[in-house]
Structure 1
Amino acid sequence: MKNERWAHEVGGLLFDLDGTLVCSLQLIERVLGGWARKVGQDPAALIAASHGRRTQDIVCRYCPADRDPLRERAELDAQFAESLEGVEAIAGAAAFIESLGALPWGIVTSAERALTERRLRAVGLPIPRVLVAAEDVAQGKPDPAGYRLGAELLGIPPAQLLVFEDAPAGIAAAQAAGMRVLVVGEQDPSGSGLACLRDYAQVEVALMPGESRRAMLALRRTAKQA
């Protein structure tokens, strides 16, 4: 751990959803763990490999040849949609978003749009104007298509965007799109030495004088240098 101050000027922010703005790990582990056992996969291994990926991509990778992948996906989607068990906002997320003022921001998630909006409403977080969901791209994370679309919809060059992510697939997608990444969590799961934050109370936001759509972001505490 380096005793260095992480600070960068940005033109906008993009967030992943699960594990980044909303904590839904309990629900995800229950649903995916049950499905893994059903299809003869190791639950822990499947969950670890699936973190940050779309349901259809998980099914495509792990569904046995003797099962209907469309039916399996529909069953998983239904289980995710029917429960908000254990779903809560990441600490400090609501106050952090409120502090952004006019700074452009959006969400790029591997979840379906309807499920994303339901979870955001359930935890009291706003639904942004720019929301790129699973059905909006042909290829999910780690493909950069979602983050590239997010940048296009915000109207901001990728190099001026900061992405908040927690999963290796999402980190790889954002980096491939040419964006800087800040990891939400105790450590960088990609092993790239990215800066990390435990919760949003660590992040300072200072809007640039005369530039309501640009800001300087800094971590209040020691973090690995990005």
Structure 2
Amino acid sequence: MAYAAPPETVTFHGLLFDMDGTIIDSTSAVVKHWHTIGNEIGVDPEVILQTSHGRRSIDILKLLAPEKATVEYVRQMESQLPKKYGSEAIEIPGARALLDQLITANAPWAIVTSGSEPLVHGWLEVLKLPHPGHLVTAESVENGKPDPTCYKLGWSRLGLPADAEVLVLEDSPAGIKAGKAAGCKVIGLVTSHTMEQVVAAEPDWVVEDLRSVKMVACGEDGRVTLQFSNALIAKVQ
């Protein structure tokens, strides 16, 4: 299969972005971070890394080191990640341009992430990326992705009605499933998982990264019209 679908234009009332793998790529930093933490808490770092992407640190710790599974420990631990490994993270291609378009048009958008608040703000500061007006983090919900609560909360914080068309931008299968379960349309990015893994999670569109997503209009009512180009296929069935 090739990323060669013709351009498609779709209109939404609001956009909900995942963070890591969607706006930034901090994979190498996270690998180093979990190796350090794993050695500190006596858990094989490779075991942690097998299940960590797209999931909250507290959920991983509940399984592998329950005594460390507290909000306070996670916030302190994750606050150090951008400070220690700031040079390891890069932005996902197309992310900055899309966010700048949305901000200029005053379009409704939010970040919905499995990371903690200190982690999110730390990375946005390091990479000089815009901070969202609305943010849902690991601390915001009882259960992480693939539970849809985080995306339902993001939807609510944008002040959108129940019949709104909302787009989730995600890279992890757990996040894609959460977005779909929350009633959103989902575009899956092949940035952290294989094409096959992303397709298996059943997003509505699949693209390589955010260079394939451009804002082409924003109405006075806040509705955002996007163009998806070079998708894997027009729609994933």
User: How many angstroms apart in 1 are the aligned matches of 2:68 and 2:157?
Assistant: 35
Structure 1 residues 141-200: Cα deviation after superposition (integer angstroms, max 9, x where no partner): 111111111100101246511011111221121111111111122526341453222232
User: How many angstroms apart in 1 are the aligned matches of 2:69 and 2:29?
Assistant: 21
Aligned-residue offset at 1:49 = 1.4
The equivalences for 1:133-148 within 5 A come to 133-148=137-152
Aligned-residue offset at 1:42 = 5.0
1:221 aligns with 2:222: no
User: How many angstroms apart in 1 are the aligned matches of 2:25 and 2:113?
Assistant: 13
User: How many angstroms apart in 1 are the aligned matches of 2:232 and 2:161?
Assistant: 26
Q: Specify the alignment match of 2:135 in structure 1.
A: 131
2:166 to 158, 161, 164: 161
The equivalences for 1:196-211 within 5 A come to 196-207=206-217, 210-211=219-220
Amino acid at match of 2:15: L
Gaps of 5+ in 2: none
Report the 3-state secondary structure (helix = DSSP H, G, I; strand = E; otherwise coil) of the residue aligned with 2:49. Answer: helix
Residues 35 and 129 from structure 1, CA distance in 2 versus in 1: closer, same or farther, beyond 3 angstroms?
Answer: same
User: How many angstroms apart in 1 are the aligned matches of 2:77 and 2:48?
Assistant: 14
Amino acid at match of 2:229: R
Structure 1 residues 110-143: Cα deviation after superposition (integer angstroms, max 9, x where no partner): 1111221121121121111111111111211111
Contact kept in structure 2, 1:164 and 1:181, CA below 8 Å: yes
Report the 3-state secondary structure (helix = DSSP H, G, I; strand = E; otherwise coil) of the residue aligned with 2:223. Answer: strand
Q: Specify the alignment match of 1:110 in structure 2.
A: 114
The equivalences for 1:29-108 within 5 A come to 29-36=31-38, 41=43, 43-63=45-65, 68-70=68-70, 73=74, 76-77=77-78, 79-80=80-81, 82-83=83-84, 84-100=86-102, 101-108=105-112
State percent identity of aligned pairs: 33
User: How many angstroms apart in 2 are the aligned matches of 1:117 and 1:73?
Assistant: 15
Residues 139 and 103 from structure 1, CA distance in 2 versus in 1: closer, same or farther, beyond 3 angstroms?
Answer: same
TM-score (norm 2): 0.82
User: How many angstroms apart in 2 are the aligned matches of 1:78 and 1:164?
Assistant: 24
Q: Specify the alignment match of 2:30 in structure 1.
A: 28
Residues 137 and 91 from structure 1, CA distance in 2 versus in 1: closer, same or farther, beyond 3 angstroms?
Answer: same
User: How many angstroms apart in 2 are the aligned matches of 1:199 and 1:25?
Assistant: 15
User: How many angstroms apart in 2 are the aligned matches of 1:74 and 1:14?
Assistant: 23
Report the 3-state secondary structure (helix = DSSP H, G, I; strand = E; otherwise coil) of the residue aligned with 1:213. Answer: coil
Gaps of 5+ in 1: none
Count of equivalent residues: 223
Contact kept in structure 1, 2:24 and 2:92, CA below 8 Å: yes
